Structure formats: C-alpha cells, structure tokens
C-alpha cells in the first residue's frame, strides 16, 4: 500500500469537505457557492485564503475568528477530518478503480446532503441530478451500455419501492412520513446497487435511525428527523463492506 496516496486522498477529502459544506448550506437558499467568498458566520468578515486551510487554520487560530475573536464551532474541522478519513478509506478499500470513484461519490453526496438535510430538512434536486449523471457516467465506463441501463432500471425500481413505503407510512402515521428528496435519492441507490442490496440499505438506515427517532420523539413530539443522511450511511455500509447477494443468502442459510 502506497502511503503517499493515502495521505493525498485524506488531504483531498479535507479540502473538498469545506466546499461540500458551503454547497449544503448555500444551495437550498439559492445562494452562490462557487464565486462568493467565505465569510465569518458571526462578524461577516471575508476570510483570507490562509484562514481556510482545512484543520490547520482552526488549530492555529485556536478555534476563534481572527477579527471578532468569537469562538468557531468544531463542526467544520470535524467534517473535514471525517471526509478526509472516508476518502482515505475509499482508496484503501478499492485502489485505483471505478469503484473508487463510486466510493468517493458516495462520501461526497453523504456530506452535502447531511449538511442540507440536517440544516433545512431539504435535499436539493440539483445535488441529486448532478450525482445521478456522475454515477451513470461511471457505470457506463465501467459496465458498458447494457450494464448501465440495468442500473438505471434498478434505480427506477428502488424509486417506486420507496414511494410505496412513503404511501404506507403516510397511512400508518396519518402524516407525511418521508420527504420527496428521500424518494428521489433511491434512484441513485439503484445506480450503485442491485435492488436487493438497495432494499437492505433502506433496512439498515431504518435500524440506525429508529433509536434516534425514539429519543427525539420522547423529547419533542413535533421534531422531524431527516432520513436522507441515514439512507446514505446505509448505502455506504453496504458498498464499503462489499456485501453481495450471495453473502446475504449464506447468512440466511446459517440461520
């Protein structure tokens, strides 16, 4: 294993994390996230390039803005570290392959949607469209036209499956159980996984989200939990652990 590549992907992940956070915060508000300069959230001062170095700037500034001296939350450096580690794990798991680019895409959409869905309870259509095209291109290059078309069909199937789950949830809970973004997100799942693994990722996401939902339900009956991040965590678990249908069948045979 070439440790230079691991370091490279960690640094790349920390750099992109800052951009992903900006996209997740600004895109739902229809603000410019490409040309507009970053600013301090408290004093609105435009930040210099050396104040935007991932992790390092936070450490040297001791977690405070250089101008208003107010404390900066640990969320951003934490996000940079997590993204860097996930990028590094992506390369460690898949090497230089098409699956590496799929893994990096999964990490990227996970970070962007986690920021937007947790902050605004919104999954921007622009993000879903961009990554749908991204994964279609990767699968076309990897699997050819027929394989790519198969995954598009898988995506439509999972989209319909999630739509039916939403209808069932609405009937049981007498209110909106899933957002439109969660349903559209399943199309991307089909571009990466087959229907069985896609359904399993929904199940895993539900298991992870259930205890958290119960806690918030007890504390605040009106609190709505964003499901998008949990769905993407379920997708990441399935993809990074390299579980396949045969593994699932063997598990049931053991039972």
- 175 & 227 share domain: yes
- 52 & 137 share domain: no
- 92 & 149 share domain: no
Confidence of residue 46 (pLDDT cuts 50, 70, 90): low
In a domain, 105, yes or no: no
Q: What tens digit of pLDDT does each residue of 143-164 get?
A: 999 999 999 999 999 999 999 9
Q: What tens digit of pLDDT does each residue of 209-234 get?
A: 888 877 776 676 656 788 899 999 99
In a domain, 166, yes or no: yes
- 134 & 243 share domain: yes
pLDDT recorded at residue 214: 77
Give the predicted TM-score (pTM) of the model.
Answer: 0.90
pLDDT recorded at residue 92: 95
In terms of C-beta distances under 8 Å and separation of at least 24 residues, what long-range contacts does 197-201 make, across chains too?
197/238, 197/243, 197/244, 197/245, 198/154, 198/157, 198/158, 198/161, 199/158, 199/161, 200/234, 200/238, 200/243, 200/248, 201/231, 201/234, 201/235, 201/237, 201/238
- 132 & 218 share domain: yes
Which of 58-62, 107-111, 234-238 shows the lowest per-residue confidence on average (mean pLDDT)? Answer: 58-62
- 190 & 81 share domain: no
In a domain, 82, yes or no: yes
- 223 & 182 share domain: yes
> Is residue 38 pLDDT above 80, yes or no?
no
Q: What tens digit of pLDDT does each residue of 4-37 get?
A: 999 999 999 999 998 999 899 889 888 877 767 6
Q: CA geometry: angle at 176 spanning 165 and 25, to 5°?
A: 100
Of 79, 96, 113, the residue at which a domain comes to its end is 96
In a domain, 106, yes or no: no
Q: What tens digit of pLDDT does each residue of 125-145 get?
A: 999 999 999 999 999 999 999
- 141 & 249 share domain: yes
- 254 & 128 share domain: yes
- 92 & 130 share domain: no
pLDDT recorded at residue 1: 60
In a domain, 101, yes or no: no
> Is residue 96 pLDDT above 90, yes or no?
yes
- Domain of 145, in residue numbers: 124-255
In a domain, 189, yes or no: yes
- 128 & 191 share domain: yes
C-alpha 17/C-alpha 118 separation (Å) is 16
Q: What tens digit of pLDDT does each residue of 152-211 get?
A: 999 999 999 999 988 887 887 777 767 888 999 999 999 999 999 999 999 999 899 888
pLDDT recorded at residue 171: 82
Confidence of residue 49 (pLDDT cuts 50, 70, 90): low
In a domain, 113, yes or no: no
Of 76, 96, 116, the residue at which a domain comes to its end is 96
What DSSP designation does 68 have?
T
pLDDT recorded at residue 170: 81
Of 53, 80, 96, the residue at which a domain comes to its end is 96
CB neighbourhood size of 25 (10 A): 17
Confidence of residue 93 (pLDDT cuts 50, 70, 90): very high
User: Domain total for the chain?
Assistant: 2
In a domain, 115, yes or no: no
- 45 & 134 share domain: no
């Amino acid at each position: 294993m070439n440790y230079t590549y691991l370091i490279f992907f960690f640094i790349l992940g920390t750099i992109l994390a800052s951009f992903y956070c900006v996209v997740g915060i600004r895109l739902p508000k229809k603000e410019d996230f490409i040309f507009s300069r970053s600013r301090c959230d408290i004093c609105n001062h435009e930040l210099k390039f050396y104040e935007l170095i991932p992790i390092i700037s936070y450490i040297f500034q001791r977690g405070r803005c250089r101008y208003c001296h107010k404390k900066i939350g640990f969320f951003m450096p934490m996000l940079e570290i997590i993204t860097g580690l996930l990028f590094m794990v992506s390369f460690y798991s898949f090497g230089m392959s098409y699956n590496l680019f799929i893994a990096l895409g999964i990490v990227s959409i996970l970070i962007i949607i986690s920021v937007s869905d947790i902050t605004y309870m919104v999954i921007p259509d622009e993000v879903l469209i961009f990554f749908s095209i991204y994964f279609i291109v990767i699968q076309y290059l990897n699997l050819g036209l027929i394989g790519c078309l198969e995954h598009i069909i898988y995506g439509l199937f999972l989209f319909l499956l999630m739509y039916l789950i939403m209808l069932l949830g609405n009937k049981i809970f007498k209110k909106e159980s899933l957002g439109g973004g969660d349903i559209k997100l399943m199309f991307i799942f089909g571009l990466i996984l087959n229907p069985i693994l896609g359904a399993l990722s929904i199940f895993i996401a539900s298991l992870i989200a259930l205890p958290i939902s119960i806690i918030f339900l007890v504390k605040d009956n009106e609190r709505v939990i964003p499901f998008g991040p949990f769905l993407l965590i379920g997708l990441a678990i399935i993809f990074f652990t390299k579980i396949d249908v045969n593994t699932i069948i063997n598990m049931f045979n053991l039972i």
